[in-house]
Structure 1
Amino acid sequence: MLKGTGDMELDAAQAISELSRQHREHFQKQRIILPFAEYLELVRENPLALTRSAAAYMRDTFDHFGQRDLGKNQGSRFKLFDINREKTGPIVGGEPVQDEIYNVLQAFVRQGYVNKLILLHGPNGSAKTSTIEAIASGMQKYSELPEGAVYSFNWIFPNDKATQAPLKGDSGPIGFGALSEKNADIHGSYALLDDTQIASKISSDFKDNPIYLIPMPEREQWLRKWIAAHQGRRPEDVELPPHIKQSGLSKRNQLIFENLLNAYDGDVAKVLRHVQIERFFYSRQYRVGISTVEPQMAVDAVEKQLTMDRNIANMPSLLHNIRYYEAQGELIEANRGLLEFSDLLKRPLESFKYLLTTVEKSSISLPSSTANLDMVFLATTNEKHLDTFKTIPDFSSFRGRFELITVPYLLRPSQEMQIYTRDVEALSKTRPFAPHALKLLCIWAVMTRYKQPDPEYYDSNYRSLVAKLDPRSKARLYEDEPLRPVFKNAEESQLRELRTRIMNESVGLVVYEGRFGASPREIKQLLQRSAQNAHHQTVTPMVIFEELERLTKDRTVYEFLQFEPRGKYHDAAQFIGVIKDEFADIFEIETLKAMSMVAEEEYEKLLSRYIENVVAEVKREKIYNTASEQYEPANQNLMQEIEKIIGIQGSSERHREGMLSRLASWRLDHPRDELDISHVFQDILARIQEHYHAQHKNVVQVVYQAMLALGTEDERSVSDKDKEAARETYRELDRRFGYDEISARESLKFMLKHNKKRKKPS
């Protein structure tokens, strides 16, 4: 046992030794502690990166992670917001918001200073705070990389144990307790002294950039020369940002520097040997360069005098004449980084009036001094508080200091679904989710957020068409999905041309699309309730319908339920009927496919043959017949038979020309995608399938009844052939679409009952 224990102890000791070795190597590789001379060499090698402002650093964080193309003429997205954070995961959607933040940062960098607070405003649950958290998380990860290194500094004063002979300035002893040149490293620095040799270590509470320790005008001359060498320009042509030329040291650091400079008779090199360069890493958790001001907090920066501090007491006597103050608070913690005001407008106006001057001048008035600040100010608020804020007399003053960025709810079901991926994965461990349950819920959610289009906003040729656009069709348009059979081919093409205008119709307005509607927080609560529904073993679409009906009954709780319907919009209860119809149609198609009376590819082959003949007919070309090995005219009988099935209206020539136009339009919108006939002509494929199923209606009904009879007393009256057909359909529903038998049976009952209620033949 002792040996076993010893082995365990040895293993633990080895593990600790290996851990120590790895961290020591990592520490040295990251160059966390440096003498000033080594830091200056890093600046010479990379002057722009190590002298950039907080705004430039944040902009560079965006650039570092890069962008990705969203495809289908949807622009690009900053990968910074795809980073998977532990608690909340990546940000879904929000590309216009992210682009606006980036553009504001670019403006700050171009003008050389931050003079506005970026205020993200939108409805509750629209990812305002999550967007800021994603930026903070990106800054933290970027600061851990060599190209994202940021530095501050400490003052180091050795103790008597580390000395051998008195050190004098030209004017005599200066009170360092007999410091010797032997205590310095090869750079003449005390930065790397062991802690036992240090009497006093004074940190920089504002995390001042060490570059400000170089006096002007040498600082400007050196940086011009180094930047010019990197850019291949003349030093006089280099444009330095304004913050480089400022006196960037805090009052405490400035006083220490000046007193040391006096003691050393103006020898800056001797002053700089007391400087220990320290790399820091942004951290939201530990409030390093990133801090949050909560609504209940009233004081964002305070200052206290240091009297009993050991480091102060052990400082050289020539520095005892300085009154030492330590600045504290969120403003100080966030310097060189990001400061977030959470729910800014919930605070009393007097508690943030100071921001008018603080943001404009990038400085804060403290009892002992006015401190320069280098940070990006961000804030969040909801629309109710912003509307109230706009009515106060001081709003005009604040408006000039705020950069307002609207953060609406998501308007595309596919994006909305991504918000709840983690929630559904967690809930599925105890209660499985049936196919389409989440998707239908998200379709309902985004429909509650849509505004009715204003036909007067469009040219007279399009007004009647835009007026026909209902919420479900709008969701399909935003998703770039087919709009038929609600709209004809020509109408769909026109709506696709107007898509961007329709999406941007209310941008910039007070009542914009995505300001109202079901919040993601409410959807998450509904998912939780659905998973706890004791009447169902699986979260099926029917459970979702049940919970939605319960939610829409109490209009006093949810603001979006209090809107009076306009046309087909703002009618949450009616939207439940829309998704019920949709699920009944979807499940019917899936069940018919699962019956496998005709192989799925046969429908697609028939459609492809039809399209091939239509194209040849319109272009007056011939089709190569592989059987006869000859070119033949388009098959009129085939085209007429299909057109009879799909029930075209008007002349066949115009219909066929419209088919060709659809192909051309799709190719313009998707120049790089492979043509998928069944997707482009999804409506025609569905009609062909429906026609075939209608011809086999009696067989389908027998299988439906057999499926319901399985496992009940009625099973005895079902033939073996029909039982096997029913079991095979259940197996195919599971294999192809993911329905277990319980959810499939429940869905079948719903579909038959719902179709009967709306008088649709099944």
Structure 2
Amino acid sequence: MAEGKALLASLQSQFDLDDFRKLHWEGSFEDYLNIVVQQPQVTRTAHQRLYDMILSHGTEEVYENKEKIVHYRFFTEFGAKLGESVYGLDRPLMQLVNAFKSAAFGYGTERRVLLLHGPVGSSKSTIARLLKRGLEQYTRTDAGMLFTFAWKGDDGGWIPCPMHQEPLLLVPKELRPALLAQLNAQKPDSYPYEIQIKGDLNPYCRHLFNERMQRYQGDWQRVLQDVKVVRMVMSEQDRIGIGTFQPKDEKNQDSTELTGDINYRKIAEYGTDSDPRAFNFDGELNIANRGIIEFIEVLKLDVAFLYDLLGASQEHKIKPKKFAQTDIDEVILGHTNEPEYRRLQNNEFMEALRDRTVKIDIPYVTRLRDEIRIYEKDFNSARVRGKHIAPHTIEIAAMWAVLTRLSQPKHANLTLLQKLKLYNGKTLSGFTEDNVMELKREAAQEGMIGISPRYIQDKISNALVAHPEEDNINPFMVMHELESGLRHHTLISDESQLQRYRELLSIVREEYEDIVKNEVQRAIAADEDALARLCSNYIDNVKAYTQREKVRDRYTGNYQEPDERLMRSIEEKIDIPEGRKDDFRREIMNYIGALAIDGKRFDYKTNERLQKALELKLFEDQKDTIKLTTLVSNVVDRATQEKIDVVKARLIRNYGYNESSATDVLNFVASIFARGQTKK
């Protein structure tokens, strides 16, 4: 018992009572006016509040291919807290936020349905979900607070406004201009919006207002005494300010789900079904007032629903059954996929909806590093317990996914894999940032087709559970899952598409072989002292060659001609042709001379090409002493095993392998050398 009491006491000490009271603030209409004068942002429209919510998380300007892009941290940093960050979609998200900005300042998009359009699994639902969760969190802060009101009932209880309307709507229309003039005159210059009172009370509140005006013989101030203003915190679960509508079977769709329905149990009490007190204003458009409503697969809506949507977007009004048009203030966000959107375009009866729609394409990610981040948030050491994910496993899966989304380049000297690398920020000889921009313009529909991230996630998950005896998964396991699942993929419609995806897997497999061969080569040649000695020997010979001198043998002391065979064996590793060797050697010596003038010493690590050449040369010299190919036959002597263990330790320390995955990759590379499949 004592332990339970202690636990409760500990929990109670962590409960923020002040925050609870702040979120459940209540006051008079006069108190609310004081808040409006001091903090006019409490009167913002739904679009203004949503736009400010996104900005409150900060922005960052980045340049991509010479184009300035605004990165909104809300979609990554706030999304990370929910485990739903959106990566690689800065351009579409910038277009979306610009639409919110335009709507916030009343430039026209506040009267449009914002339609997120893209292939399945491209983050449309995630973006909508983040906006809803963001509003929930924002309205709990001082910066995002807003208020609604409740009526005092005849029994002394309080009746909340069913549509959570703005308390300023209680001001009679004839008094609004004078009030707004005073409020706007007092608002700080830093507040960017004009305070406005738009629309009228909903039928229920209008009925109560008029009833009290008659009861108190037109004394508006007395009517306000029957009103209390309360803090409003948006919540999808509590159906306050956030709505979600998902179409059902066409035969079962009912427009009252959007605009509310008659409460038949109360008709007997009030005598008529046209009394607003006998009506439930609890449709999705009603409860989402002042916030946001998400329409899932919006273009699957029945025509009757679309009429409601047209009025809600253009006129900011809805038509509940038996009542006049009712004002609403909310962001209408829908999302759909390509087949449904094509149906909209081909349907002449949908012209009105097309005219009131702002389409924002949400494509698949086409930048490799962003695709990798999508999977890393789901498959990391914290979440994948007991399994080590070998280096490049996620990278290779992401590489294949991105390749399926890219269009074949028209440039004759550019492969699809090179195009992927250009998009990922790598520089290729003969291609500038302008060329990359041109490639993207040529393929405007890139990212609207291809493999969904969900497929990749499913196959990585399969690989994790398909090999219970293994303590790690590697790229080959994942590639096997990717390929074996293609035949049963529901979105692959023809044999040619299937064949293309398999060919892209072959490209990725070859790229992985090159990557691991390079890693093993560097691990073998990672002897710093040996590299330094080789570099010193090379530089001595190059110096003697360029100055037409002889080289002194460090062992015999005799002078001899520069070792052309040594110099060429290094230079050929980085494709320096015979005709360019003199230029390359002079460049090296000029660079060393420039460093000497500044009092600096030459370090081969500062020259990436030379470092690579030295590492490849050292690898060539040492691979025979290590006898890597003997791993295939499992006949390894003790001295060789010690050298292999050193290489394995370097793979673990420098490249992120564990014991078993390092052994696997060494065996794999050994099998390549055993087959004689090395590339120069």
Q: Where on the TM-score scale, by shorter chain, does this alignment land: which range?
A: 0.7 to 0.9
1:101 aligns with 2:96: yes
Secondary structure of 1:147's counterpart equals coil
1:213 aligns with 2:175: no
Q: Report the CA distance between 1:44 and its aligned residue.
A: 1.1
Secondary structure of 1:146's counterpart equals coil
1:513 aligns with 2:431: no
Asked whether the equivalents of residues 94 and 407 of structure 1 are also in contact (C-alpha less than 8 Å), the reply is: yes
Asked whether the equivalents of residues 168 and 197 of structure 2 are also in contact (C-alpha less than 8 Å), the reply is: no
What runs of 5+ residues in structure 1 fail to find an aligned partner? 160-198, 314-319, 455-465, 484-488, 618-634, 660-676
Instruction: Report which stretch shifted further, 744-753 or 102-111.
Output: 744-753
Q: What amino acid sits opposite 1:694 in the alignment?
A: E
1:202 aligns with 2:159: yes
Q: Report the CA distance between 1:678 and its aligned residue.
A: 8.9
From 20, 28, 37, give the equivalent of 1:27.
20
Q: Report the CA distance between 1:294 and its aligned residue.
A: 0.7
Asked whether the equivalents of residues 69 and 91 of structure 2 are also in contact (C-alpha less than 8 Å), the reply is: no
Structure 1 segment 557-596 matched on structure 2, within 5 A: 557-559=490-492, 562-563=495-496, 571-596=500-525
Structure 1 segment 146-295 matched on structure 2, within 5 A: 146-157=142-153, 159=155, 199-231=156-188, 240=194, 244-295=196-247
CA distance in 1, matches of 2:586, 2:227: 79
Name the structure 2 match of 1:43. 36
Q: What amino acid sits opposite 1:467 in the alignment?
A: A
Structure 1 segment 423-572 matched on structure 2, within 5 A: 423-425=378-380, 428-454=384-410, 466-483=411-428, 489=429, 491=430, 494-507=431-444, 512-534=445-467, 536-552=470-486, 554=487, 557-559=490-492, 562-563=495-496, 571-572=500-501
Name the structure 1 match of 2:292. 338
Give the 3 Å change call, closer, same or farther, for CA 285–504 of structure 1 in structure 2.
farther
Q: Report the CA distance between 1:680 and its aligned residue.
A: 9.5
Give the 3 Å change call, closer, same or farther, for CA 291–657 of structure 1 in structure 2.
farther
Name the structure 2 match of 1:115. 111
Give the 3 Å change call, closer, same or farther, for CA 270–423 of structure 1 in structure 2.
same
Structure 1 segment 670-685 matched on structure 2, within 5 A: 682=608, 685=611
Asked whether the equivalents of residues 561 and 572 of structure 1 are also in contact (C-alpha less than 8 Å), the reply is: no
Q: What amino acid sits opposite 1:586 in the alignment?
A: I
Q: Deviations over 1:136-176 (max 9, x none)?
A: 111111111111001110001465xxxxxxxxxxxxxxxxx
Give the 3 Å change call, closer, same or farther, for CA 572–758 of structure 1 in structure 2.
farther
CA distance in 1, matches of 2:221, 2:83: 49
Q: Report the CA distance between 1:133 and its aligned residue.
A: 0.8
Asked whether the equivalents of residues 604 and 685 of structure 1 are also in contact (C-alpha less than 8 Å), the reply is: no
Q: Report the CA distance between 1:757 and its aligned residue.
A: 5.7
Q: Report the CA distance between 1:441 and its aligned residue.
A: 0.9
Asked whether the equivalents of residues 143 and 281 of structure 1 are also in contact (C-alpha less than 8 Å), the reply is: yes
Q: Report the CA distance between 1:12 and its aligned residue.
A: 5.9
Aligned length: 628
Asked whether the equivalents of residues 482 and 682 of structure 1 are also in contact (C-alpha less than 8 Å), the reply is: no
Give the 3 Å change call, closer, same or farther, for CA 526–251 of structure 1 in structure 2.
same
Instruction: Report which stretch shifted further, 683-692 or 52-61.
Output: 683-692
Name the structure 2 match of 1:348. 302
Secondary structure of 1:68's counterpart equals strand
Q: What amino acid sits opposite 1:119 in the alignment?
A: L
Name the structure 1 match of 2:599. none
Q: Report the CA distance between 1:477 and its aligned residue.
A: 0.6
Asked whether the equivalents of residues 209 and 248 of structure 1 are also in contact (C-alpha less than 8 Å), the reply is: no
Asked whether the equivalents of residues 263 and 280 of structure 2 are also in contact (C-alpha less than 8 Å), the reply is: yes
Q: Report the CA distance between 1:215 and its aligned residue.
A: 2.0
Secondary structure of 1:144's counterpart equals coil
Asked whether the equivalents of residues 409 and 515 of structure 1 are also in contact (C-alpha less than 8 Å), the reply is: yes
Give the 3 Å change call, closer, same or farther, for CA 153–532 of structure 1 in structure 2.
same
Give the 3 Å change call, closer, same or farther, for CA 232–582 of structure 1 in structure 2.
closer
1:393 aligns with 2:348: yes
From 124, 136, 150, give the equivalent of 2:132.
136
Q: Deviations over 1:105-132 (max 9, x none)?
A: 1222232662110111101000000011
Instruction: Report which stretch shifted further, 423-432 or 90-99.
Output: 423-432
- Root-mean-square deviation over aligned CA pairs: 3.8
Name the structure 2 match of 1:169. none
CA distance in 2, matches of 1:497, 1:688: 34
Q: What amino acid sits opposite 1:95 in the alignment?
A: D
1:303 aligns with 2:261: yes
Asked whether the equivalents of residues 297 and 337 of structure 2 are also in contact (C-alpha less than 8 Å), the reply is: yes
CA distance in 2, matches of 1:727, 1:572: 38
CA distance in 1, matches of 2:525, 2:574: 22
CA distance in 1, matches of 2:4, 2:482: 59
Give the 3 Å change call, closer, same or farther, for CA 266–349 of structure 1 in structure 2.
closer
Name the structure 2 match of 1:329. 283
Asked whether the equivalents of residues 433 and 538 of structure 1 are also in contact (C-alpha less than 8 Å), the reply is: yes
Q: Report the CA distance between 1:101 and its aligned residue.
A: 1.2
**Aligned residues: percent identity?**
22
Q: Deviations over 1:46-80 (max 9, x none)?
A: 22x12211111111111111113446666331111
Secondary structure of 1:155's counterpart equals strand
Q: Report the CA distance between 1:40 and its aligned residue.
A: 0.9
Asked whether the equivalents of residues 317 and 326 of structure 2 are also in contact (C-alpha less than 8 Å), the reply is: yes
Asked whether the equivalents of residues 208 and 248 of structure 1 are also in contact (C-alpha less than 8 Å), the reply is: no
Secondary structure of 1:90's counterpart equals coil
Q: Report the CA distance between 1:342 and its aligned residue.
A: 0.3
Asked whether the equivalents of residues 393 and 478 of structure 2 are also in contact (C-alpha less than 8 Å), the reply is: yes
Asked whether the equivalents of residues 88 and 367 of structure 2 are also in contact (C-alpha less than 8 Å), the reply is: no
1:759 aligns with 2:677: yes
CA distance in 2, matches of 1:330, 1:322: 17
CA distance in 1, matches of 2:123, 2:471: 32
1:726 aligns with 2:678: no
1:360 aligns with 2:314: yes
Give me the TM-score of the superposition, normalised by structure 2: 0.82
Q: What amino acid sits opposite 1:76 in the alignment?
A: V
Asked whether the equivalents of residues 259 and 283 of structure 2 are also in contact (C-alpha less than 8 Å), the reply is: yes
Give me the TM-score of the superposition, normalised by structure 1: 0.74
CA distance in 2, matches of 1:327, 1:560: 45
Asked whether the equivalents of residues 703 and 725 of structure 1 are also in contact (C-alpha less than 8 Å), the reply is: no
Q: What amino acid sits opposite 1:451 in the alignment?
A: S
Instruction: Report which stretch shifted further, 282-291 or 27-36.
Output: 27-36
Q: What amino acid sits opposite 2:418 in the alignment?
A: S
CA distance in 2, matches of 1:681, 1:571: 39
Asked whether the equivalents of residues 62 and 78 of structure 1 are also in contact (C-alpha less than 8 Å), the reply is: yes
Secondary structure of 2:230's counterpart equals strand
CA distance in 1, matches of 2:188, 2:604: 55
Which of structure 1's runs of 4+ aligned residues deviate more than 6 A? 637-642, 652-659, 677-681
Give the 3 Å change call, closer, same or farther, for CA 761–250 of structure 1 in structure 2.
closer
Q: What amino acid sits opposite 2:103 in the alignment?
A: F
Name the structure 2 match of 1:646. 574
CA distance in 2, matches of 1:322, 1:472: 64
Q: Report the CA distance between 1:375 and its aligned residue.
A: 0.5
Name the structure 2 match of 1:622. none
Name the structure 2 match of 1:699. 625
CA distance in 1, matches of 2:668, 2:569: 34
Asked whether the equivalents of residues 151 and 279 of structure 1 are also in contact (C-alpha less than 8 Å), the reply is: yes
Instruction: Report which stretch shifted further, 146-155 or 280-289.
Output: 280-289
Give the 3 Å change call, closer, same or farther, for CA 327–604 of structure 1 in structure 2.
farther
